Structure 1
Amino acid sequence: MIFGMPWWVFMIILFIFLTGYMAFRAMRAERKLENHYIEQEGQVYIDRIEQEREQRRKQKGRQLSH
């Protein structure tokens, strides 16, 4: 007996806390991975917008020179 409880009750309580901690860690890791993915996709979108702007500037320059 540990703290006036059978040892298996103590182990169940310990496993409940351990499971909660592991779930919290997994949730944090998933959020971090998701944020990284969102930032990466956002950068791709910004790069595409910059390329389109550059193409428009080149086209405008060609139209003015003709």
Structure 2
Amino acid sequence: MILGVPWWVFVMIIFIFLSGFMAFRAMHAEKKLEYQFIEKEGKVYMDRLRAERERKQRQEQEKETS
């Protein structure tokens, strides 16, 4: 007993703090992964828009030359 409290109570408190830290770390990692996914999908969308814009410009140029 430490300060009138059984040792296993201190161990449980340490486990609670460790569990909270691990949950925080997992939440941070998940948020980072989600941000990377959003960035990737946004890039795909912007590439698709750029390709469509270029296609329309080519079609307009072909109409002008015809």
- Do the structures match in fold with TM over 0.5? yes
Counterpart secondary structure, 2:47: helix
Root-mean-square deviation (Å): 0.7
Counterpart secondary structure, 2:19: helix
State whether structure 2 residue 58 is matched by structure 1 residue 58.
yes
Q: Which amino acid aligns with 2:54?
A: E
Residues 2-36 of structure 1, C-alpha deviations (whole Å, 9 max, x = no match): 23311001101110000000000000000000000
Identity %: 56
Structure 2, unpaired ranges of 5+? none
Structure 1, unpaired ranges of 5+? none
Structure 2 Cα separation of the partners of residues 21 and 2 of structure 1 = 25
* Segments of 4+ moved more than 2 angstroms: none
The aligned residue for residue 2 of structure 1 is 2
Residues 37-57 of structure 1, C-alpha deviations (whole Å, 9 max, x = no match): 000000000000000000000
Structure 2 Cα separation of the partners of residues 17 and 3 of structure 1 = 20
